[in-house]
Amino acid sequence: MARYFDVHPENPQRRAISQVIDLVRADGLIAYPTDSCFALGCRLGNRDGIDRIKSIRHLDEKHHFTLVCHDFAQLAQFVYLENTVFRAIKASTPGSYTFILPATKEVPRKLLHPKKKTVGVRIPDHVVAQALLAENGEPLLSSTLLLPDQAEPMTQGWEIKERLEHVVDGVLDSGECGTEPTTVIDFSDGEPVIVRRGAGDTSRFE
């Protein structure tokens, strides 16, 4: 049964954040808020966590998982960035964007798109998500918490706990979250391709 953590949206309690990350480091799967909507997250090497996310969301092998990073320095460890791409992404982070980029060898093979060897990366503009990432010291492997039978993501932490309490290990709640997923920009070939229009403004990529 999932543990439920209710934290302050602007000053999240350090003890609660630490307990959530303890779950992550023990190969747990969590639901947590971001600047777009709730996400499912686990540690990078957690194969069971990946499989559970796929099962919960009914995802296939072509799905791009996202590495949610604390800052740009951390993001740059996991993807290759040409100068023009670097500038474009730097200007848009932190924010409600996911960028698809060629992955470095730091990224576990199971996370890569099977043909393109790419991975999604993002830096959220959200106090609680940032607190989690700072405590964890590495990215969270994540996917939008959008269930296959729903048109929009759930916005309430208590609702997520009730629905998913037997398939996740922890739910972190800091109040109502948004319903619009990130904007997804594919930079894998050097030029921006808008894959999904979401919470982030797309004008600079058009």
Q: What is the pTM of this model?
A: 0.95
Position 43 pLDDT exceeds 90: yes
CB atoms closer than 10 angstroms to residue 85: 20
Provide the percentage of residues in the chain whose pLDDT is more than 90: 83
Quote the pLDDT of residue 76.
92
* Residue with tokens 């747990």, as numbered in its chain: 28
Position 26 pLDDT exceeds 90: yes
- Please list the helix, strand and coil fractions of the chain in percent, rounded to the nearest 5, in that order: 30, 20, 50
All structural domains of the chain: 3-205 (3.90.870.10)
CA 59 to chain centre: 15
CA 69 to chain centre: 8
